[in-house]
Amino acid sequence: MLATTFIYGGVQALRNTSAVAEEAKHVNDGVRDLAAKVAPQVQVPADDATLVRINAALHLVGGFGLATNRFPRVSALLLAGSIVPSTIAGHPFWAKKGSERDDELSHFLTNVSALGGLVLAAVDTEGKPGVTWRATHAAGSARRSAASSANSLRKQAKKTAKNVKS
């Protein structure tokens, strides 16, 4: 269910790229400014239509990945990464007054709620241990296996030494 809004938005953006690009100009400008401050080495396209297509592609790939449970954690992270800058740049409720502020705050909080769902999807391991747990336990298992092998080799060496003396 979480993926549907991203898939729908991605399809609509691709179908109406020029209209969405015009509408998203102020958001794209905000994203460019944010990227320049946070990661100046990243080259963000100057063309609004290109940014709309990139964002639409991210939403489609991430949305379908989440919806079909193919790489759901990566898909959720991809979508979360795309929603953060557009939420900050696209819904600056702090710069508005009156009912316009209320509208922007509502959209901002809706996106924050979606972000919360995406974060939960990104950390969900479906009851399986996470990578950190598996790595820690694999190291412990390898250590125990090596110690066991060393003990077996010592015992075998003692037996061989006894047989040689006999």
Which residues form the domain of 143? Answer: 131-166
Are 99 and 144 members of one domain? Answer: no
pLDDT of residue 165: 76
Q: How far apart are CA 31 and CA 51, in angstroms?
A: 10
Q: Which residues contact 60 (CB under 8 A, 6 or more apart)?
A: 6, 7, 10, 11, 14
pLDDT in tens, the chain (166 residues): 899 999 999 999 999 999 888 888 888 888 888 889 988 998 889 999 999 999 999 999 999 999 999 899 999 999 999 888 778 877 889 989 999 999 999 999 999 999 999 999 888 877 666 667 677 777 878 888 888 888 888 888 888 888 887 6
Q: How far apart are CA 38 and CA 66, in angstroms?
A: 27
Give the number of domains in the chain: 2
Cβ atoms of 35 and 81 closer than 8 Å = no
Are 24 and 53 members of one domain? Answer: yes
pTM of the model: 0.67
Are 109 and 145 members of one domain? Answer: no
pLDDT of residue 127: 67
pLDDT of residue 131: 67
